[in-house]
Amino acid sequence: MRIAIVNDTQMAVEVLKKIIFSFDKHQIAWVAVNGKEAVEKCAKDVPDLILMDVIMPIMNGVEATRAIMQATPCSILMVTSTVDGNASQVFEAMGAGALDATNTPVIEGAGSEEGARLFIDKINTLEKLISSNKRIEISNSVGHQVSTNSNYILAIGASTGGPSALAKVLSSLPTDFPAPIVIAQHVDKMFSENFALWLGDQTALPVRIAKAGDKLEMGTVLVAGTGDNMMLDSQSRIQYTIEPEHYPYRPSVNVLFESIAKNWSGHALGVLLTGMGDDGANGLLRMKERDWLTIAQDANTCAVYGMPKAAAKLNAATEILPLDQIGTMITSIINSGSKKAAS
């Protein structure tokens, strides 16, 4: 891959260069010292991956990510001295289209070898995601069938651009939302707790990391929070599985959706939001085959139109909607089913 570095600290630039040069297959595309310069350089030469610092003068990493994703979209990894300390900016950048985030590796002192190894693993994982990103043509949506059973579960999957999209959907749901909510967002397990805390600040609904063995709770948002894949077992409890072991998307949206289609005895809504690649498309199709409502975000409102595009190609989405209409549709369908079941 051709990798660009955006960082205003020379020492950090040198560390990143050293690690990139340790790969025979990667090269440096260019280096920028602030976000403004990065936007300008990216307009002339789009790399395969940008290592983007968060805190910089003139234009920070969040603003630069937003500008690049609008003008010359490419894969961006946020690299910062402390993801925990800059959590709000990191998730804002991920909402704008950054793929993931990691701490800036160090090459000296305690933990330097481990930090470098984790950084290399992150680059390798992103390379798989980037190379597997497929161009898929959109197909038209079809009308949906509405269940009249109030025993619902809402399952949402997201990747690139997901944090802000999830915040938008969840914030539009009522505080007395009559169904449990489970979410698979592609995010590093190291930052999942911070992500859940951040997401909880964006909605009135309670949000927490799902733990193995958890029961579903009405109106509570459970977020996948380990390096394994979250699933629903036959007893309607949360479990985690390493399988498929070599699948690059973690936590996998497909695994979550497919487990719900297999094990959930009531009715479900599946929602696939913005993201690179095609994770979730097959799982959404399995949910549709149960005659459940399935929703994919439309192209115009996606930060990256990959996963919903894959679902549209498979005709897995009964509805393709702009982001600001998804929450309203969810509430309408579940409330309608609850009222009919109660009458």
Measured between alpha carbons, how far is 195 from 198 in angstroms, rounded to an integer? Answer: 5
| Coil, helix or strand at residue 271 | strand
267 is catalytic: no
Measured between alpha carbons, how far is 7 from 24 in angstroms, rounded to an integer? Answer: 23
- 130 close to 75: Cβ distance less than 8 angstroms: yes
CA 186 to chain centre: 4
Residue 322: Cβ within 10 Å count: 12
Cis peptide before 251 (omega within 30 of 0): yes
Beta partners for 237? 215
144 is catalytic: no
Q: Indicate if the alpha-carbon torsion angle 211, 212, 214, 216 is positive or negative.
A: positive
- 198 close to 91: Cβ distance less than 8 angstroms: yes
Measured between alpha carbons, how far is 92 from 228 in angstroms, rounded to an integer? Answer: 24
- Non-local CB neighbours of 218 within 8 Å, separated by 6+ positions: 177, 178, 179, 180
Beta partners for 103? 80
48 is catalytic: no
Of 100, 186, 252, 267, the active-site residue reads 186
Measured between alpha carbons, how far is 144 from 292 in angstroms, rounded to an integer? Answer: 8
- 254 close to 234: Cβ distance less than 8 angstroms: no
Of 159, 164, 252, 259, the active-site residue reads 159
Measured between alpha carbons, how far is 98 from 66 in angstroms, rounded to an integer? Answer: 9
Cα–Cα separations (whole angstroms), residue 106 to 5, 11, 113, 155, 284:
16, 9, 8, 38, 41
Of 53, 100, 228, 279, the active-site residue reads 279
Enumerate the active-site residues.
159, 186, 279
